[in-house]
Structure 1
Amino acid sequence: MTVSAHDVRNALLARDEIALIDLREEAAFAGGHPLFAAQIPLRRLELEAPWRLPRRTAPVVVYDAGEGLVEPAIERLGALGYTEVRALHGGLDGWRAAGFELFEDVNSYSKAFGELVEHHRHTPSLPAPDVQALIEEKADIAILDARRFEEYATMSIPGGVSVPGAELVLRAREVAPDPDTTIIVNCAGRTRSIIGAQSLVNAGVPNRVFALRNGTIGWTLAGQALETGQARRAAEPDADLLDDARVRARAVSYRAGVRHIAWDELTYLRSQSARTLYQYDVRLPEVYAAGHLPGFRNAQGGQLVQETDHNAPVRGARIVLSDDLGPRADMTASWLAQLGWEVLVLDWPDHVALETGPDGAPPARGPEGRYKRPYEGTDNAAVAMQAYLDWEYGLVEQLRRDGTHGFTVI
């Protein structure tokens, strides 16, 4: 049985639950796909589908580009217990023939949202040569790297400190306690720099805040040297700074319409079998492994915003976040709410016994079929990096043409 591209679009506009799954390898997916499509290659369907599509009765629509992947996928998903699986009529060509937009790259809607945030909020930024000049004159600045620690360790801006995205409001003032210190937030490209800097602006930290324009890509294109193998991490805040971060982050989440719930209210949400529920602990992996609430999987908050399509492929689902300190969940939730999700924050319950260890996610993918990201590593061609930036600059207009996003910017 098939569904039309118009049926899928209507479900997205109505905010009905739907998972639109691209069965091709990631490199092919990155060449073009619908905005809210998520990618699960056929060869990993049995591994990833039960984890990423937790409700077996959620509507799932699968497609390819004529490679013959759809029929075996429907058969395999049926064997896994999925009961509402359909094929996209005409596959990717059917979507294109309907006149709908195709987006390139991976994590496309999160990246498009970042561009929309900058467009509406005019997030302040500095180009790489200006930041290099500040470093050379030993200006009072703090460079905070909003990527995962592993990415930071691979390559980083000289003097930068690792503060992954959701940690920024929690830890930034521990790194820069003097309000006269200028904070510069970087990532590899644009999105996490923009979202990170705007997080601090939204939270009203007293420091001047800028994004490093175009991240390490812009730094490299400017002919400036990166550091490698660094291990500087932001410390946890003292009690006063923690209280301040809690107040600031809670105010941001409130403005974004995020609701807070208690453990017994979560129990009720878990009982609702007609809705997909994702439950994420947004702390650092080592903190999660040391003790987390039962039923919560781990995704660092900044990555949950950056890779929402991977972590929550069922558009229209509910998301509940947890964080023992609070600010990481509140800031992450504020962005997910702006991305159009129904998102709630669990007030951490002291009476619930914690579990330890990893969350049981499927093993990471290997290099097979992987899209070579022009912002990862240190061996990317300048033409590929510039092309990637040019693509990002055009995303706001492409969102307008597509018309399904439903994003808001507070």
Structure 2
Amino acid sequence: MSVSPEAIRSALLARREIALIDVRQEALFALGHPLFAAQIPLQRIALEAPWRIPRQNTPIVVYDDGEGLAEPALHQLRALGYTQADVLEGGLAGWKAAGYELFEDVNSYSKAFGELVEHRRHTPSLPAPDVLALIEEKADIAILDARRFDEYATMSIPGGRSVPGAELVLRAPVAAPDPDTTIIVNCAGRTRSIIGTQSLINAGLPNRIFALRNGTIGWTLAGQALETGRQESVEKGEGSGHDLARERARDVAYRAGVRRIDSADLKGLIADSDRTLYRFDVRQPADFAAGHPAGFRNAPGGQLVQETDHFAPVRGARIVLVDDLGSRADMTASWLAQLGWEVLVLADAFDGPLETGDDGAPPPRGPHGRYKRPYEGTDNREAAMQAYLDWEYGLVAQLERDGTHGFFVI
């Protein structure tokens, strides 16, 4: 049995659960795929599918582009116990023939959402030469890098410090306690800079706040040198600072329609066998390993917003978030809600016993199974970086043509 492109589009518009899975290698996936497709290569289905698609009666549709991978993938899924796995009628060619959009690169809908946020909120940004001028004149600025720490250590803006995205509302006031200090948020390209900057604006920080326009890509294309090997992080602060961050973030989450639940409510969600439930602890890995609620996986909030299709490939599922200090879960939830997810925050997650160690996630893919992003590392060609930016600039118009996203921006 196969599922038509029209039926998949109907499910997306109705917000019914569906996991649309591209079973090609990630480099081929990055050349073009439906907006809400996720990618699991045939060779890793047995490893990744039980982790990323936890409910065995989830509607799953797999596809390739004529390589002969979809049918073997379907057999593997059924052997793993998935009862509603089918193939896309006509594969990727069938999707194109139906007149539907194909999106390039990876984490495409999160990146498209970031562009939509900037488009609608006019998120302020500064070009790389202007930021360099501020650095050289020793202006009162704090440069905060919203990427993962390992990305920051690989290459960073001179003087920048690491504050991964979901940590910004908590840690930015520590980095810039004087409201006259200008805060500049950067990532490698655009999305995490935009989301990070808008997070601080949404939370009502009194500082002037800007994104570094086009991130380290823009910095490199301007002919400016990056630093390597930096190890500077901003601490969490303490006491009243945590309380203020929690208050600010909770207000943002409320405006985005995020609901709060307790452990009794969570039991009811777990018992609902007709809905997929993802449970994520959005703190940094070291905090998670030191003690986390049972049954929760680690997905640092900034990366969860950036790579939502990786962490939660079942579109239409429920998501429950936890965080011992509160602000990180609420800020992450505010963005996931705007991305069209039903997302809840568990308020009493840390009141009982905790587990330690990692969450047992499958080992990451090696370089051979991973598409090299044009914004990673220090050896990217300028033409590839510029092409990547040009692609991002066009995503808002492509979202409008596609018509299935259901995003909103508070």
- One fold, TM greater than 0.5? yes
Residue in structure 1 matched with residue 173 of structure 2 by the alignment: 173
Is residue 51 of structure 1 aligned with residue 38 of structure 2?
no
Shift of 1:313: 0.3
Shift of 1:242: 1.1
Task: Give the whole-Å Cα distance in 1 for the aligned partners of 2:152 and 2:169.
Answer: 18
Shift of 1:367: 1.4
**Structure 1 residue ranges without an equivalent (≥5):** none
Shift of 1:238: 2.3
Task: Give the whole-Å Cα distance in 1 for the aligned partners of 2:280 and 2:169.
Answer: 19
User: Secondary structure of the residue that 2:368 maps to in structure 1?
Assistant: coil
Residue in structure 1 matched with residue 275 of structure 2 by the alignment: 275
Task: Give the whole-Å Cα distance in 1 for the aligned partners of 2:277 and 2:350.
Answer: 22
Return the letter of the residue paired with 2:99: G
Task: Give the whole-Å Cα distance in 2 for the aligned partners of 1:272 and 1:216.
Answer: 44
Return the letter of the residue paired with 1:306: Q
Return the letter of the residue paired with 1:377: G
Identical counterparts, % of pairs: 76
Q: Please report the TM-score for the alignment, with normalisation by the length of structure 2.
A: 0.99
Q: 1:365–1:350: structure 2 CA closer, same or farther, 3 Å change rule?
A: closer
Runs of 4 or more, structure 1, over 6 Å off, are none
Task: Give the whole-Å Cα distance in 1 for the aligned partners of 2:182 and 2:122.
Answer: 18
Q: 1:202–1:338: structure 2 CA closer, same or farther, 3 Å change rule?
A: same
Residue in structure 2 matched with residue 394 of structure 1 by the alignment: 394
Residue in structure 2 matched with residue 24 of structure 1 by the alignment: 24
Q: CA RMSD in A?
A: 0.6
Task: Give the whole-Å Cα distance in 2 for the aligned partners of 1:170 and 1:236.
Answer: 6
Correspondences of 1:3-402 after superposition (within 5 Å): 3-402=3-402
User: Secondary structure of the residue that 1:36 maps to in structure 2?
Assistant: coil
TM-superposition CA deviations, 1:285-328 (whole Å, max 9, x none):
00000000000000100000000000000000000000000000
TM-superposition CA deviations, 1:368-394 (whole Å, max 9, x none):
232111100000000000000000000
* Bigger mean CA deviation after superposition, 332-341 or 70-79: 70-79
Task: Give the whole-Å Cα distance in 2 for the aligned partners of 1:246 and 1:87.
Answer: 45
The answer to whether the 8 A contact 1:3-1:86 is kept is yes
Shift of 1:349: 3.6
User: Secondary structure of the residue that 1:310 maps to in structure 2?
Assistant: helix
Task: Give the whole-Å Cα distance in 1 for the aligned partners of 2:74 and 2:92.
Answer: 16
Task: Give the whole-Å Cα distance in 2 for the aligned partners of 1:236 and 1:277.
Answer: 30
User: Secondary structure of the residue that 1:195 maps to in structure 2?
Assistant: helix
Residue in structure 2 matched with residue 404 of structure 1 by the alignment: 404
Task: Give the whole-Å Cα distance in 1 for the aligned partners of 2:388 and 2:351.
Answer: 48
Shift of 1:350: 4.3
Shift of 1:351: 3.6
The answer to whether the 8 A contact 1:323-1:348 is kept is no
Task: Give the whole-Å Cα distance in 2 for the aligned partners of 1:305 and 1:377.
Answer: 21
Q: Please report the TM-score for the alignment, with normalisation by the length of structure 1.
A: 0.99
User: Secondary structure of the residue that 1:368 maps to in structure 2?
Assistant: helix
Task: Give the whole-Å Cα distance in 2 for the aligned partners of 1:6 and 1:127.
Answer: 42
Return the letter of the residue paired with 1:208: R
The answer to whether the 8 A contact 2:324-2:350 is kept is no
Task: Give the whole-Å Cα distance in 1 for the aligned partners of 2:372 and 2:161.
Answer: 26
Task: Give the whole-Å Cα distance in 1 for the aligned partners of 2:104 and 2:94.
Answer: 17
Aligned residues: 410
Task: Give the whole-Å Cα distance in 1 for the aligned partners of 2:141 and 2:22.
Answer: 44
User: Secondary structure of the residue that 1:302 maps to in structure 2?
Assistant: helix
**Structure 2 residue ranges without an equivalent (≥5):** none
TM-superposition CA deviations, 1:342-378 (whole Å, max 9, x none):
0000013444210000000001001123211110000
Return the letter of the residue paired with 1:384: A
Shift of 1:71: 1.1
